[in-house]
Copies of this chain bind each other. A is one copy, B any other.
Amino acid sequence: MSKIVFGVDIGGTTVKLGVFKVDGTLMDKWEIPTRTADGGKYIFTDIADSILKKIAALGYTKEDCAGVGVGAPGPVDSNGIIYGAINLGWGDVNLYEKFTELLGMPVKAGNDANVAALGEMWQGGGQGYTDIVAVTLGTGIGGGVIIGGKLVTGSNGAGGEIGHIPVEENETETCGCGKTGCAEQYGSATGVVRLAKRRLALDNKPSTLRKADRLSAKMVWDAVKAGDEVAIDVAKQFGYYVGKMTAAIACVTNPQAFVVGGGVSKAGEVLFEYIRPEFERMVFKPCKNVDFKLATLGNDAGIYGAAKLVLGE
């Protein structure tokens, strides 16, 4: 019987790895650098080597291991094929085949934001729910839709790309995706900074934010908590756009809860004071009864979710 399982979260700079007992207890976690040279081909062997060494170091064999789950930054379909991961240098790759060949163990793979959602449902802020949407407010906005305990991968592996729901028709700046008016242009960490800069440029109203050399989302939310009126204007705009995004989602899948993570979520429950009223104003009434919860696993959500992929959703 399997005793341990591995979760791997591949990022553009580092690969996070974790080894878990099959009951979900994290035994150990560590990082290795992401070597993107030569089309990212070393990433596969680096990860495999690291896992095989860890199994030996812990005194286990492959037979003790339920398998390896992998989260990767790109659309991953239900056959384990990732359709390009620009940050890693990868084109289209079958992750199941690639890692199974190197590891000789069962492998599962998914999109990193989707996998993190699964982690939060298993051991984080989404525990006890079966139908959640994870909302990751980081550099961009990622998401993961879980229905009946299972990830919605989507027909091209692009399920849960909620950061690109259109929420503003009059935007002139372009989103990283090439469109304009995407939710992530307002609700992400960079979005909050953008909103703050725009607000500051409007007038000369005093604000602690004017003293910052380099504005950050954290500064904005700290100022909100301190009662800074300009920062509160920014928070209201943030709430409007994230409220509209979550309202649209709720009209599609009618989830039990939104689990909000990513760097911006470090501001805490104050986010929901601005999101919730706008969400309630814009959502269909029978879908209004939704919990807003903070994610709790931080940067470990990916390794938890990747491990859970192997153990079965």
Residues of chain A having any CB pair with chain B under 8 Å: 75, 83, 131, 133, 145, 147-148, 150, 152-166, 177-179, 181-182, 244, 247-249, 251-256, 281-287, 289-290
CB distance from A101 to the nearest CB of B (A): 26
Residues of B within 8 A of A286 (CB): 75, 83, 156-158, 161
A89 CA to B211 CA in the complex, in Å?
62
A131 CA to B145 CA in the complex, in Å?
14
A287 CA to B157 CA in the complex, in Å?
9
A-B contacts, 9 of them at CB < 8 A, read A152-B253, A153-B254, A154-B254, A155-B255, A157-B254, A164-B251, A165-B247, A249-B252, A253-B253
> Is A252 in contact with B252, judged by CB distance below 8 angstroms?
yes
CB nearest neighbor in B for A148? B150
Residues of B within 8 A of A244 (CB): 166
If the complex has contacts A131-B155, A152-B147, are A162 and B252 also in contact, measured as CB distance less than 8 A? yes
CB contact between A251 and one of B148, B165, B254, B289 (< 8 Å): that residue:
B165
A244 CA to B168 CA in the complex, in Å?
11
Residues of B within 8 A of A287 (CB): 154, 156, 158, 161
